């Protein structure tokens, strides 16, 4: 099945990728310059939609990408409006900045139909983190003029690179469309941080017809001795994130303390009960109340306490146990103080596993087609933290498809999620190569 | 209205009381010798019923005294049966130890009807405390052979004296029946400790037709310089006592902690929330979780936690606030851990106030008829703790009657509720004199 | 002792007060227009210092008023500097706005020495509250153009009036200086709100030589039927206010929760233990954790939790019990989680009592010299809340002097400490009259 | 090295074991009939010491077996004395029931020295559980007359069998002494339940010179299809068990609550903080407060609260983290309430691992010498719970020796630690065979 013709195609493709490396770098730096946090990726989405359209893809945006009512942790209306204005000022292509996007329906899907054949979906997350970028000149994005223009927002996780990689893939695959049999779906996902966006794309049905699903993350490595690519990952924790508010009744703490319903007391009881949820014999679990804000003044019984919490589990089942226990703890705590309770799901990810058959197939492709890249050890495939790509993988697998979540290794400056994060942009081309080689293998004749 | 005839009657009565002082002492020592805690006052009730019957009173016992379903904190069936057996062995007059009494319907009412006139009720509580009496020979009841025969039970609050006083009054008033116009009710109440018995007598309706209601307590004083009698008291706290049990689900703490529902965690949360009930600006409040017992073994998630708690309030309203807050705290705590909750009211007393008009009338009687006794200052009338006589007083007052709770002072050995408590038995005659002088005044021509 | 000459003096004085009523109103409105919170009363102090100087008083300001190191709850340096600039812009007399004042040493003392005789001190608190004034035109200060110019600051407690009253008294007493024998001290105190300022004036020794001490507060009444003046107050609670910070160790809540030291868990334990401090049988007590702020992000173990708390007690002893119990609770909570603890006293007031002899003397003066004013019932003298004037009163009384805290009644719009607070400015003249009549009585021949 | 001679020895040995199977059963039933819990194994130890002595072993007992001061969870003096009396009544050989044993220094060591060669130690735990045996006639030990004679004590974990196996091995190896080169140590350990005894034998130095160490446990299996023997185990949790007492100050909860130091409040805070110790990213951890008992009466501030707690960890490091966190939680909780704290270690086990080299060697022995036995899968080797044999294994390994903890499978009636536990006594002979074959292999020529 694999022959000289195939070899030639690959050689050809690798040359093309080398050619567009400067474009990839420029794209990544543009996204880095104008980072946008979850549901505010308006400029980002408009740039991507414009590019995909120009390349010839069928493009979905807005409410065609994310199901109404299924987005988690959407900012307030005023924040959306203010940012839409800024996006325009920062050069968002006006024709592509739709009303839906301005309402927080960000994210883009590019579809390339090449006749009969399987459907291959690839996912690229595009949102930034809510943090301020390093001010020091020793930080390369600062020195070279592409550091964040948006206070309190920074691409410190590499999603700027992911967006650029997705557009690079779009270009390469379009050039090879004649060699493909089936359908390519490029999913540019908003709101991955906090696990807020994948569910809305899943709810819209975009994963229901997918036969093969691939995602990847740029991954830090001190040197490249451990290899360049892992074809799958393991160990990610399922999670759910809640905002919880206890509402009581204020009262003057000196004059009439008995007239109050103390929301802070309720929250304090909840904090203790949450952390005291039993350990699970089935595997790792987690719980954290990351923030708590309560009260208005020293001498007033607090009538409001708001906390941001999350639970995790090594499996979806453990995570569900944690979630149910957490809600019971909060409900009981509210009842103790005669308070009411408001809970809002702010993010959700499930347990995930990469299919062994797909991991092995990708391994074969890398060894055969990309011999300059080395496959990493299983240890490198340990995926700390939680990722809502799990929702997409699980949906694909539920319908009988195969899914994997890869990592492409790169040296980094500063750790992920720190203000000095930056990476070697050579990883962009490497990533494009892996995705495209796999696409050619799966959709090739 | 008051004249020589009256003076003569009083002089006569005081002489009679002096005469029966040895009987009063003997009665008190008999009760002290065989103390019986709440709802176990079987021998005590039988002795009282026999005496009242022999004196010519109409006598109510058993279910005619306490309303079914209204007794609080009744011991288990086995304990009732075992004690009934012991009561017989300790000389309870068999003909008066009714089946009702053996089932824990203790308490006796003696009624003396003397034609037209007001109804005067007097209350005497008869139960002992659940504690062991001092073993030392320096303790007079031990030295003189009338210390408790019943392990874990002791008259350490003076109710042995109260019962004797009640019988003394019965004798004196019967002797003076020709001079009385109206009805005398002598209420011998079970289960005052823990505030368990008064409610059941009130529920039976015995206070509904009462015009004047008087109770008293033997009260410790270091010397008698502060006076001998207070015609009223103030400051008693309303209270309610609960037994609370959290029921969860056991699990092996090493093997499957997630399968448990931890009743001890629920109880611990409740303990903290209970003590954190807001202070009340309207006056003193109290809360105490006096005991907590939970769990079966070190390596088992506790499926059961039982606690004895009480709340108090300077007014019935404050106490109700405490009770409702406490129940909310327990219910919420149970919900937090997926436990169920059982609550049982074990005792209840209300706020109380002695009617000023009655206090003044009694003051007049003491000054006029009992000039050898001095009225105490208001400070001595401060009544620490809680008393379910409040339920009787409030019922009388609700129907337009007058009520007061007096104290008759006496030197004591050891404080009340301690193992060395004992008192100077001269207080028995003094108490009989006060009650009878007031009765003659109120029911006299 | 009291005679026609005296009567004439009083009549004369009352006429003068009526004459300056427009000035009092203008002064009060100027202070209301430029409210300044604790330790920022720079413009206010400069205006007062200028006026007292011009009237001929010996004037103390800055570090001569408040002891270094004894001020509580002083704002940060930047806030002091920014406000000093604003004070100048708002017309603070530059010559009187000293460097000390700019550093937050606000407060002024005016001294009038009139030869041999007792020392009479009067106290006027001058700070505003940290709240925004009502925007509605129905609010008189808004309609008449003297509403607050300083966002987040408002005279909603009447201290604008107190400052004006103090200056009115200064003028009247200076006019009557020939009739006085002894020393007058007018204490314009900063930082009464939060009980932050009195201690620093006491620490400087200004109360050590005082024989008679008088303070007063404008007090709301629905009508004036309850009287115009109370010569003393009772029932104020001693208090201490703390800012408490728990410092732990952050950690990624998903990756390495065991590496954290959870400051929020410590704070939650403390909140529960604080509210669970035992009730005190000696009288009312209070505790409140008014605000709690903890954590930096949902997925990070909180390394910092800050809370504002206060305790109170009906007596200084009860308050001390509460304070010590609260500190133990916080220390233990920190230890539980391996956190460190920072505690800062932000305010302190003691229990207080007005001397009966002084109350009676003032009552006599009012009845004799100010017959148009009626003395209020004792009920009106109930002083809810806490006041650091207690520190001054207690120091005076400790040295054998007499002290009282009066109330002068007035109709108000909106309750104290609400955004619509305003009062009938006739109370200014009434207050000046009471203070001056008392001063003439005490220091008069 | 292995030859016909060896084969003959094994065949010979297996025949001997078959011969003594009735003795093994009788011994096991005798131990089952007279079960003895930790540090009360007086009759058991005397029986073992007598048998070993008669077989010709050098025998250590009493303070020569367990280090003074190192035993954990020793019963009270009265309990020791009462049980010693009962042991005699139940036929303990009086000559072997030493004074040390009567003081709770139970456990026996039998030593067989066979010249030059390695030291092989084998461990047999001998204590019963604190529970009542099933009363039903369907329970074989009841039906056949060897159920527990000691109320509240039962061999429900198989240690009766372990003791019998140890004596069986003693007999077989003595018969083969001529074929051995080195030293055999048979360790009969007291107090394994609760992890109380191993540490005291380790502290005495008995493991310091051991080259190879083997222990085993009778292990339940539904059928024997999963194999008969596992040569090692994995997954056991390190643990430490504490008894913790909070000591405060009692006070009347109605009269003077402020005079108390509430030990129950301290305990409740500790319970919550204990369960809230962070999860550990390094593996499984556990915490349980299994029992809590506090307080003396409903209306008394509790001055004493006692709890039994345990923590566990997948590694000794995790367990140490749990232990240190638990102690900090208790110390802080005591401080919060002004209580003192008493903590007593009641048991301790460490993490353990069986040496792969030894597992493989034993596997070879079983395959070669005991072909009628099948080795189990690794899954069967999962060792739930905690075992203080870990302390012995770790000590041996620390000195460079090899250690393993095996399981010999058997059908059971009722699960371990339940009242109907019983097992097929054929496992006794199987176990003796495995130990002896390994001993011949290691100490054989």
- pLDDT at position B383: 67
Going through B57-144 in order, the beta strands assigned E by DSSP cover 58-61, 108-114, 119-125
> Can you read off the two tokens belonging to residue C394?
């207690």
Please name the residues in contact with B384: beta carbons below 8 A apart, sequence gap of 6 or more.
B235, B236, D254, D255
Average pLDDT, chain A: 94
Q: Is residue D298 within 8 angstroms of chain B, CB to CB?
A: yes
Predicted confidence (pLDDT) at residue A1 exceeds the cutoff of 60: no
Percent over 70 (pLDDT), chain D? 97
Q: What pLDDT is attached to residue A378?
A: 66
* Phi, psi dihedrals of residue A414, rounded to the nearest 5°: 65, 150
Q: At what angle do helices B263-275 and A263-275 cross, to 10 degrees?
A: 160
- Please check whether residue A414 is in contact with residue A129, taking contact to mean a CB–CB distance below 8 angstroms: no
Q: Alpha-carbon dihedral of residues D102, D103, D107, D112, nearest 10 degrees? A: -80
By the CB < 8 Å criterion, does A283 face chain B?
no
Alpha-carbon dihedral sign for residues A140, A142, A146, A148: positive
Q: What is the pLDDT of residue A342?
A: 98
pLDDT of residue C223: 63
What residue has token string 């008679």?
A: C212
Q: Say which range, B118-127, B240-249, C3-12, D63-72, has the weakest mean pLDDT.
A: C3-12
Spatial distance between the Cα atoms of D107 and D392, rounded to a whole number of angstroms: 15
What is the tens place of the pLDDT at every residue in C215-262?
A: 999 988 766 667 889 999 887 899 999 999 999 999 989 889 999 999
Report the alpha-carbon angle D408-D410-D414, nearest 5: 130
In whole angstroms, give the CA distance from residue C333 to residue C331: 5
The minimum CA-CA distance between D382 and chain B, rounded to whole Å, is 12
The residue assigned the tokens 């080195």 is D182
Cα distance between residue C249 and residue C263, in whole Å: 8
User: Pick from C279, C328, C338: which is nearest to D336 by CB?
Assistant: C328
Smallest Cα distance from C270 to chain B, Å: 11
Distance between CA B62 and CA B78 in Å, rounded?
19
The whole-angstrom separation of Cα B39 and Cα B128 is: 10
pLDDT single digits (tens) C259-310: 999 999 999 999 999 999 999 999 999 999 999 999 999 999 999 999 999 9
Interatomic CA distance for residues C161 and C427, integer angstroms: 9
Q: Which chains touch B (3 or more CB pairs under 8 A)?
A: A, C, D
| Cβ-nearest to D278 among C257, C280, C332 | C257
Q: Any idea of the CA torsion for A394, A397, A402, A404, to the nearest 10 degrees?
A: 10
Tokens 């109930």 found at: C382
DSSP state of C254: T
Quote the minimal CA–CA distance from D158 to chain A in Å: 25
Provide the pairing of β-strand D212-220 with D402-410. parallel
Return the structure tokens found at B100. 């009702």
Tell the burial category of B145 from Cβ atoms under 10 Å away from its Cβ (0-12, 13-18, 19+). exposed
Residue D381, pLDDT score: 72
Q: Over pLDDT 70: what percentage of chain A?
A: 97
Q: Is residue D170 predicted with pLDDT exceeding 70?
A: yes
Report how far residue B351's alpha carbon sits from residue D29's, in angstroms, rounded to the nearest whole number: 67
Pairing of strands A182-189, A119-125: parallel
Mutation site, C240, C287, C291, C301, interface A, largest A CB count within 10 A: C291
Are A348 and A199 in contact by the 8 Å Cβ rule? The answer is yes
DSSP, res B83: H
Distances (CA, A) of D126 to B61, D48, D56, D260, D261: 61, 10, 21, 46, 44
pTM for this predicted structure: 0.88
Residue D315, pLDDT above cutoff 80: yes
Nearest CB neighbour to C255, from listed A290, A293, A385: A385
pLDDT at residue A384 greater than cutoff 90 = no
Question: At a CB cut-off of 8 Å and minimum separation 6, what does C386 contact?
Answer: A254, C195, C236, C237, C238, C239, C312, C349
First CA to last CA across chain A, in angstroms?
Answer: 8
Q: How far apart are the C-alpha atoms of D372 and D380, rounded to whole Å?
A: 19
The pLDDT tens digits for C419-434 are 999 999 999 999 999 9
Interface membership of C333 toward D (CB under 8 Å): yes
Length of chain B: 445
Tell me if chain D has a CB within 8 Å of the CB of A58: no
Under 8 Å CB-to-CB from A26, ≥6 apart: which residues? none
pLDDT single digits (tens) A417-441: 889 999 999 999 999 999 999 999 9
Contacts of C241 in chain A (CB under 8 A): 298
Q: pLDDT at residue B109 above 80?
A: yes
Chains that touch D (3 or more CB pairs under 8 A): A, B, C
Instruction: Report d(CA D18, CA D25) in Å as an integer.
Output: 11
Name the residue with higher pLDDT: C6 or D15.
Answer: D15
Examine the pLDDT at B87 and tell me if it is beyond 60.
yes
User: Would you call A273 and B276 a contact, using CB atoms and an 8 Å cutoff?
Assistant: no
Looking up tokens 């334990």 gives C269
First CA to last CA distance, chain B: 8
Q: Looking at the complex, does the CB of residue D290 fall below 8 Å from at least one CB of chain A?
A: no
Q: How far is B394 from chain A (nearest CA, A)?
A: 25
List the one residue out of B121, B124, B168, B122 whose CA is nearest residue B429. B168
β-bridge pairing C304-313 and C238-247: antiparallel
Most C CBs within 10 A among A298, A302, A306, hence the mutation to make, goes to A298
Query: Could you tell me if B297 and D291 are in contact, meaning their C-beta atoms sit under 8 angstroms apart?
Result: yes
What's the pLDDT score for residue B380? 67
Confidence of residue B378 (pLDDT cuts 50, 70, 90): low
pLDDT tens for each residue of B17-49: 999 999 999 999 999 999 999 999 999 999 999
- Half-sphere exposure of residue C368, counting CA atoms within 13 Å on the CB side? 19
Contact D291 B297 (CB under 8 A): yes
| pLDDT(B397) > 80 | yes
Q: Nearest by CB to C336, from D260, D262, D332: name it.
A: D332
A431-A433-A435-A437 Cα dihedral, nearest 10 degrees: -160
Tell me which residue of B335, B338, B327 sits closest to B248, measured CA to CA. B338
User: What is the number of other CB atoms lying within 10 angstroms of the CB of residue C116?
Assistant: 8
pLDDT in tens, A161-182: 999 999 999 999 999 999 999 9
Q: Between B264, B290, B312, which is nearest D289 by CB? A: B264
- Contact predicate C406/C362, CB 8 Å: yes
Report yes or no: B355 and B366 within 8 Å, Cβ to Cβ. no
Enumerate the β-bridge partners of residue B406.
B216
Partners of chain C (3+ Cβ pairs below 8 A):
A, B, D
Q: Is the CB of residue B2 less than 8 Å away from at least one CB of chain D?
A: no
Residue B379 pLDDT > 70, yes or no?
no
**C338 interfaces chain A, CB cutoff of 8 Å:** no
How confident is the model over D327-370, as pLDDT tens digits? 999 999 999 999 999 999 999 999 999 999 999 999 999 999 99
- Secondary structure of residue C345 in the 3-state scheme: strand
Q: Counting beta carbons within 10 angstroms of the beta carbon of residue B77, is it exposed (0 to 12), middle (13 to 18) or buried (19 or more)?
A: exposed
Q: What whole-number distance in Å separates Cα of residue D384 and Cα of residue D195?
A: 14
The whole-angstrom separation of Cα D119 and Cα D213 is 9
Q: For residue A272, list chain D residues with Cβ-Cβ distance below 8 A.
A: 272-273, 276
Residues A302/A295, Cβ–Cβ less than 8 Å? yes
* Partners of B313 in the β-ladder: B238, B285
pLDDT at C4 over 80: no
pLDDT in tens, B283-333: 999 999 999 999 999 999 999 999 999 999 999 999 999 999 999 999 999
Q: What is the ipTM of this complex?
A: 0.85
DSSP structural state of residue A180: B
Model pLDDT for residues C74-118, shown as the tens digit of each residue: 999 999 999 999 999 999 999 999 999 999 999 999 999 999 999
- D354: closest CA among D212, D246, D242? D212
Cα distance from D329 to chain C (closest Cα, Å)? 4
Question: What number of other Cβ atoms are within 10 A of residue C107's Cβ?
Answer: 33
Indicate left, alpha or beta for D313 from its phi (over 0: left) and psi (-120 to 50: alpha): beta
Among B413, B409, B405, which residue's Cα sits nearest to residue B386? B405
D55 has a pLDDT exceeding 70: yes
Q: The tokens of C88 are what? A: 């100048």
Chain B residue with minimal CA distance to A272? B269
pLDDT of residue C2 exceeding 60, the answer is no
Q: Are B354 and B233 in contact (CB under 8 A)?
A: yes
The pLDDT, as a whole number, for residue C376 is 83
The answer, yes or no, to whether residue D1 has pLDDT greater than 50, is no
| Cα separation, B350 vs D133, whole angstroms | 51
**Chains A, C: CB pairs < 8 Å:** 135
Burial class (CB in 10 A: 0-12, 13-18, 19+), B9: middle
Q: H or E stretch including A288?
A: strand A285-294
Interface of B with A in 147-176 (CB under 8 A): none
**Region for residue D337 given its phi and psi (left: phi exceeds 0; alpha: psi -120 to 50; beta: otherwise):** alpha
Q: How confident is the model at residue B173 (pLDDT cuts 50, 70, 90)?
A: very high
- Nearest CA to CA, how far is A280 from chain B (Å)? 5
* Alpha-helical regions (H) of D34-151: 42-55, 77-89, 99-102, 140-143
- Tell me the chain D residues in contact with residue A276 when contact means C-beta distances shorter than 8 Å: 272, 275-276
- Phi and psi of D415, rounded to 5°? -75, 160
D380 pLDDT tier (thresholds 50, 70, 90): low
Helices (H), C337-425: 356-369, 389-398
Token digits of residue C431: 């207050």
Contacts of C258 in chain D (CB under 8 A): 278-282, 321
Asked if residue B223 has pLDDT above 80, the reply is no
């Amino acid at each position: 099945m694999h022959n000289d013709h195939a070899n030639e195609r690959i050689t050809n493709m690798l040359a093309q990728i080398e050619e567009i490396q400067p474009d990839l770098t420029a794209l990544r730096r543009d996204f880095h310059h104008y980072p946008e946090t979850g549901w505010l990726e308006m400029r980002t989405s408009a740039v991507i939609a414009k590019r995909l359209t120009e390349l010839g893809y069928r493009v979905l945006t807005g409410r065609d990408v994310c199901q109404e009512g299924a987005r988690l942790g959407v900012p307030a209306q005023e924040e959306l409006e203010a940012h839409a204005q800024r996006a325009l000022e920062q050069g968002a292509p006006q024709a592509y900045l739709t009303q839906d996007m301005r309402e927080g329906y960000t994210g883009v899907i590019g579809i390339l139909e090449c006749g009969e054949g399987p459907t291959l979906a690839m996912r690229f997350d595009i949102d930034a983190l809510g943090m301020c970028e390093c001010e020091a000149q020793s930080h390369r994005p600062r020195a070279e003029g592409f550091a964040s223009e948006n206070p309190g927002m920074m691409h410190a996780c590499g999603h700027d690179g992911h967006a650029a990689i997705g557009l690079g893939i779009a270009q390469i695959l379009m050039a090879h469309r004649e060699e493909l049999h089936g359908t390519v779906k490029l999913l540019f996902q908003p709101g991955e941080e906090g696990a807020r966006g994948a569910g809305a794309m899943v709810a819209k049905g975009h994963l229901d017809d997918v036969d093969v699903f691939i995602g990847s993350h740029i991954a830090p490595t001190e040197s490249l001795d451990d290899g360049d690519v892992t074809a799958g990952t393991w160990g990610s924790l399922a999670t759910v994130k809640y905002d919880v508010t206890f509402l009581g009744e204020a009262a003057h703490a000196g004059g009439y303390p008995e007239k109050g319903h103390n929301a802070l007391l309720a929250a304090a009881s909840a904090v203790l009960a949450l952390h005291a949820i039993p350990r699970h014999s089935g595997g790792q679990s987690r719980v954290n109340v990351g923030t708590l804000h309560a009260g208005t003044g020293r001498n007033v019984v607090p009538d409001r306490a708001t906390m941001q919490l999350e639970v995790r589990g090594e499996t979806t089942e453990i995570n569900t146990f944690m979630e149910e226990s957490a809600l019971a703890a909060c409900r009981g705590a509210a009842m103790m103080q005669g308070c009411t309770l408001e809970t809002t799901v702010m993010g959700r990810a499930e347990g995930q596993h990469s299919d062994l058959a797909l991991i092995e197939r990708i391994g074969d492709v890398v060894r055969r087609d990309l011999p300059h890249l080395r496959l990493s050890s299983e240890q490198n495939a340990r995926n700390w933290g939680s990722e809502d790509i799990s929702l997409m993988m699980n949906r694909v697998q539920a319908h009988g498809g195969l899914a994997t979540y890869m990592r492409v290794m790169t040296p980094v400056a500063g750790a992920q999620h720190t203000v000095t994060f930056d990476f070697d942009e050579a990883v962009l081309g490497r990533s494009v190569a892996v995705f495209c080689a796999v696409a050619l293998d799966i959709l090739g004749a």
